[in-house]
Amino acid sequence: MYEKSVMRSLECFEYFLAQQYFHDANMCLQTWKVHSQEIGLFDEDRYEELKERLKLARAQKAEEDKKRAEEKRLAEDEEKE
- What one-character DSSP code corresponds to residue 20? T
For residue 67, the enclosing domain spans 2-80
Question: Could you list the mean pLDDT of each consecutive 10-residue stretch along the chain, which spans 81 residues?
Answer: 87 98 98 94 97 98 95 86 70
What pLDDT shows up at residue 76?
A: 85
Number of domains in the chain: 1
Separation between Cα atoms, residue 18 and residue 72, nearest integer Å: 25
What pLDDT shows up at residue 68?
A: 93
